Homo-oligomer: A and B are copies of this chain.
Amino acid sequence: MTQLDAASPRLGRRRDHSRDPEILNAALEVLAEEGYDGMTVDMVAARAKAGKATLYRRWPSKGELVIDAVVCMKRGDIDLGNLPDTGTLRGDLVAMIKPRTIEESERKLQVMAGLMSAVARSPELAEAINRAIIEPRAEVNRILLRRAIDRGEIAADIDIETLSMITPSMAAYRTLVLKRPVDREFLITMIDNVVLPAVGLRR
């Protein structure tokens, strides 16, 4: 981006944003560990090995930095265009449980825990969290449930909207409130003891 910016050649090198990822990632780490109010800009700068002034050259305030960090967290988690297709609902749901996904998901929930109290004061932040953390997980379940309906595996009148939120909410509750790990065993239990029975499979 640096040398391609022909629009203003006079300014020598323009701000290149090349260190944004490190900084935003450092912000997420501190957020997960300390929460929004426990996080200081100095902590983020130190962890990213950047000067505090550098952060303020890019973001006007701590709040904007945090929102940007949450927004940029989306990627790396789930590829919506390449979901498993095993032929059964259970197969699809279980196939979504990968160590990589679990790890990423737990990290997101930790960040969310840290942001919880700040959310009340910033609708913008609430929106960013919903878009980056909540919605993607529910969307996957919606798609898998819809496919199961299409192939006639489950009844067409089940409540997709509600059922697609069971796993995300139970996982959030488990991390935020119960402080217990969202591991493979937990997720399998949710699938076999709640979701599948609720759509009429098994039992």
Enumerate chain A interface residues (CB-CB to B < 8 A): 33-38, 112-121, 126, 129-130, 134, 155, 158-159, 162-163, 165-166, 168-170, 172-174, 176-179, 189-190, 193-194, 197-200, 203
Contacts and interface: CB of A to CB of B under 8 A. Distances in A.
Contacts of A33: 120
B203 A200 contact: yes
B115 A117 contact: yes
A166 B166 contact: yes
Given A169-B172, A177-B129, A193-B198, A114 B118 contact: no
A24 to B, nearest CB: 19
Nearest to A193: B159
Q: Which of A114, A116, A162 has the most CB of B within 10 A?
A: A116
Contact of A170 (B115, B169, B197): B169
A189 B198 CA distance: 12
Given A114-B117, A116-B116, A169 B162 contact: no
B159 A168 contact: no
Contacts of A174: 169
Given A172-B177, A197-B197, A198-B198, A38 B166 contact: no
